[in-house]
Structure 1
Amino acid sequence: MKKILIVFGTRPEAIKMAPLVKELYKHIEFATKVCVTAQHREMLDQVLSFFKITPDYDLNLMKANQSLNELSSRILTAIDTVLIEFKPDFVLVHGDTSTSSMVALASFHRNIKVGHVEAGLRTYNKLAPFPEEINRQITGCLADFHFAPTKQSAQNLLNEGVNTNSIFITGNTVIDALFWGINNINKKRKDINEIASFINNEKKLIVVTGHRRENFGDKFYEFCSALKELANRKDVQLIYPVHLNPNVQKVVYETLGQHSNIKLIAPLDYEAFIWLLNQSFLIITDSGGVQEEAPSLKKPVLVTREVTERQEAVEEGTVKLVGTNKEKILEEASLLLDDKTVYANMIGNANPYGNGTAAKQIVKALKLF
């Protein structure tokens, strides 16, 4: 029996690793344990509760105002105790966080094989997204098995000299999570009913998120200015779950707080958020996960970033990059709001991130070893 340790620390990682945890639990040939670093505490716990996952190890490393260097050093030290105790044959990490890169490094130091879920995404710009791009590349250098969601991500790895026999194209587990989540939403929840009560069904709902570090400052003010002007249309309504980062809160509430057509709400947990996405007509976001989820819900996405490591969706036509340029945001949003043909073409494109079987594909690959 092979021992597998799955490690994650943030809400996005938890969402995307939950289907893999659930799938591995079905296979008796693997002794699977879950470790959370909890670099995001509350947001992580919400996801664990929804997917009914209880960690075997909880490092509880969240700390207010800690630097990336402090966090990284604490992850590296804390995970070593778990590796020594459990002695896993494989450690599986996800994506592009400090947890991913530091756990991969600690595993390498202990001569433990590393599997990288959602491997091979690249912008090749180390500052966008920051620090995720470098975290992902570091993890990729240390990984023994690369579970790439798409052909493009696999090709990126091949271009970097990764052995083709260690790369597996699996689709993205975020689609597995989305399909499971949509089918298990409790629509009687108080917060969902509260949001539903102020949605105007006679208007086109635009759901907005924005939190990326590279957009802070003048870019974020311009982004909010575009939203304000867009909300002046009588046929739309905007709902914006506002990230708790003070750099986001200050600008959003200062710029958009008094607009009658914009509803600013607290961040939502995963269950309520995917419910809200499913009610939308259009999504404006700088989130990576939403770029992957929305096409499966048949929702068009405008991405407020200059570059994306999820280029497949751009090429497929399910998302458009608009940056934070006010005129570009207004132009593309207006086109989708006003032109039914453009809208239909965008939502009619296939989701390049798979069909919800990624976790099964990853487990199938693990069985080869």
Structure 2
Amino acid sequence: MSKKILVCFGTRPEAIKMSSLVHELRKSEFEIKVCVTAQHREMLDQVLDFFEITPDFDLNLMTANQTLNKLSGRIFTEMDGVLENYAPDLVLVHGDTTTSSICAWAAFHRGIATGHVEAGLRTYNKYAPFPEEINRQITGRIADFHFAPTETSKNNLLSEHTAAESITVTGNTVIDSLLWTVGKLDSGFSNDRISELESKVDFTKKVILVTGHRRENFGDGFLNICKALAEIASRPDVEIVFPVHLNPNVQKPVNDLLSGYDNIHLTEPLDYPSFVWIMKQATLIITDSGGVQEEAPSLGKPVLVMRETTERPEAVEAGTVKLVGTDSDVIARNAFELLDQPSVYEKMSKAYNPYGDGKANARIVEFLKSKLT
């Protein structure tokens, strides 16, 4: 009888990184079912639609202004029923979300093995990123199999006394998903959001793509970020595209401070193919996102990261990413340096991407075959 694997995720970033893995797993002898918590709803659905995945279990847990504790409690309750009824041999979770840690914990309570995709990233500062750092550590303590994207991640796990035979270095599945998406775009895929960007943004100028959503940047952090973007937008040769996260803590300062600029395009959150398309067109990217730090180097795009620490130090060490925090002067100064100094830009844009070659999914499946069959 085929071993049963339940793939669990709930947010847009998880869906992006796990969807291509679902397709790879479905080529194998395993029985695969997908469970989504819908910790993000609309943004999750966009990814599922693009990757042509229909969940077998949809917990639909997103509600407005839901606290992390309430969300966690609901995931525990609903996942318990799924695990009891389906009784998988393995639960696969991803990364550092509340969904990943609670689904792993729920599986542990029922004696079900867990595999952790994108395992071993650490800042060792439990408040940065919050709550992701602790989510990831909790999942790491529970997991039976660890799919580390890099040697650094593997070494973090080994330093925590994780059994070496339970760890394999795979690269990051986000590169697999990115290359799959680029292939579709290069084959002519388009949609209304891409067409809208083509009509509104002046691509003869230097395009800066901005994203921001981290909880630790709420408040003064986002005010400083907006101040920096306003300074950058004072240049006539720049166009800024800023898909604004739906969280009110992001929406209010961004719309209050940046809505009056002709060359700052504040959009609704972009679906994944549209986001990859604009990444390809961008000159540089300013973000506090973890996933973008991994994706952009594969497209040759320098990244300025608006955080004080990162659980992805490999990109900093490789030179594809630079930490700039949320000091407005530091953000603007580094952006101007990349815009005005070709040697600095070329060094960052051509640096080696440490996050993979697009074969992470195949490595995960081969590892699971060796452990489960």
* TM-score over 0.5 (shorter chain): yes
- 1:14 aligned onto 2:15: yes
Looking at structure 1, the residues matched to 298 and 190 of structure 2 have their Cα atoms a distance apart, in angstroms, of: 24
Looking at structure 1, the residues matched to 273 and 152 of structure 2 have their Cα atoms a distance apart, in angstroms, of: 30
Q: For residue 130 of structure 2, what is the aligned residue in structure 1? A: 130
Q: Give the deviation of 1:331 after TM superposition.
A: 1.4
Q: For residue 117 of structure 1, what is the aligned residue in structure 2? A: 117
The C-alpha deviation readout for 1:127-177, integer Å capped at 9, x for no partner, is 111101000000000000000000000000001110111000000000000
Alignment of 1:195-210 (within 5 A): 195-210=197-212
Looking at structure 1, the residues matched to 270 and 144 of structure 2 have their Cα atoms a distance apart, in angstroms, of: 36
Q: For residue 287 of structure 2, what is the aligned residue in structure 1? A: 285
Looking at structure 2, the residues matched to 57 and 123 of structure 1 have their Cα atoms a distance apart, in angstroms, of: 33
Looking at structure 2, the residues matched to 2 and 173 of structure 1 have their Cα atoms a distance apart, in angstroms, of: 22
Amino acid of the structure 2 residue aligned with 1:272: S
Q: For residue 181 of structure 2, what is the aligned residue in structure 1? A: 181
SS at the partner of 1:168?
Answer: strand
The C-alpha deviation readout for 1:296-331, integer Å capped at 9, x for no partner, is 010000000000001100000000000011111111
- 1:24 aligned onto 2:60: no
Is the contact made by 1:120 and 1:148 (CA closer than 8 Å) also made in structure 2?
Answer: yes
Looking at structure 2, the residues matched to 55 and 201 of structure 1 have their Cα atoms a distance apart, in angstroms, of: 38
SS at the partner of 2:241?
Answer: strand
Q: Give the deviation of 1:201 after TM superposition.
A: 2.5
Amino acid of the structure 2 residue aligned with 1:157: L
CA RMSD of aligned residues (A): 0.9
Looking at structure 2, the residues matched to 168 and 191 of structure 1 have their Cα atoms a distance apart, in angstroms, of: 38
SS at the partner of 1:276?
Answer: helix
Alignment of 1:28-177 (within 5 A): 29-177=29-177
Amino acid of the structure 2 residue aligned with 1:283: I
From 343, 350, 357, the equivalent of 1:355 is 357
Q: Give the deviation of 1:26 after TM superposition.
A: 0.4
Looking at structure 1, the residues matched to 190 and 137 of structure 2 have their Cα atoms a distance apart, in angstroms, of: 42
Looking at structure 2, the residues matched to 187 and 87 of structure 1 have their Cα atoms a distance apart, in angstroms, of: 39
Q: What is the number of equivalent residue pairs in this alignment?
A: 368
> Percent identity at matched positions?
63
Looking at structure 2, the residues matched to 134 and 120 of structure 1 have their Cα atoms a distance apart, in angstroms, of: 12
From 249, 252, 255, the equivalent of 1:250 is 252
Looking at structure 2, the residues matched to 181 and 71 of structure 1 have their Cα atoms a distance apart, in angstroms, of: 31
Q: Give the deviation of 1:202 after TM superposition.
A: 2.2
SS at the partner of 2:239?
Answer: strand
Q: Give the deviation of 1:187 after TM superposition.
A: 4.2
Looking at structure 1, the residues matched to 344 and 68 of structure 2 have their Cα atoms a distance apart, in angstroms, of: 42
Looking at structure 2, the residues matched to 234 and 290 of structure 1 have their Cα atoms a distance apart, in angstroms, of: 26
The alignment's TM-score, normalised by the length of structure 2, stands at 0.97
SS at the partner of 1:19?
Answer: helix
Looking at structure 2, the residues matched to 312 and 258 of structure 1 have their Cα atoms a distance apart, in angstroms, of: 37
- 1:332 aligned onto 2:341: no
Looking at structure 2, the residues matched to 211 and 57 of structure 1 have their Cα atoms a distance apart, in angstroms, of: 28
Is the contact made by 1:154 and 1:169 (CA closer than 8 Å) also made in structure 2?
Answer: yes
Q: For residue 309 of structure 1, what is the aligned residue in structure 2? A: 311
Structure 2, unmatched stretches of 5+, are: none
Alignment of 1:267-282 (within 5 A): 267-282=269-284
Q: For residue 224 of structure 1, what is the aligned residue in structure 2? A: 226
Is the contact made by 1:61 and 1:74 (CA closer than 8 Å) also made in structure 2?
Answer: yes
The C-alpha deviation readout for 1:227-257, integer Å capped at 9, x for no partner, is 0001101111111111111111110111111
Amino acid of the structure 2 residue aligned with 1:32: I
Looking at structure 1, the residues matched to 201 and 252 of structure 2 have their Cα atoms a distance apart, in angstroms, of: 25
Amino acid of the structure 1 residue aligned with 2:216: E
Structure 1, unmatched stretches of 5+, are: none
SS at the partner of 1:368?
Answer: helix
The alignment's TM-score, normalised by the length of structure 1, stands at 0.98
Q: For residue 213 of structure 1, what is the aligned residue in structure 2? A: 215
Is the contact made by 1:187 and 1:193 (CA closer than 8 Å) also made in structure 2?
Answer: no
Q: Give the deviation of 1:120 after TM superposition.
A: 0.2
Looking at structure 2, the residues matched to 291 and 188 of structure 1 have their Cα atoms a distance apart, in angstroms, of: 24
Looking at structure 2, the residues matched to 292 and 197 of structure 1 have their Cα atoms a distance apart, in angstroms, of: 28
Q: Give the deviation of 1:188 after TM superposition.
A: 3.7
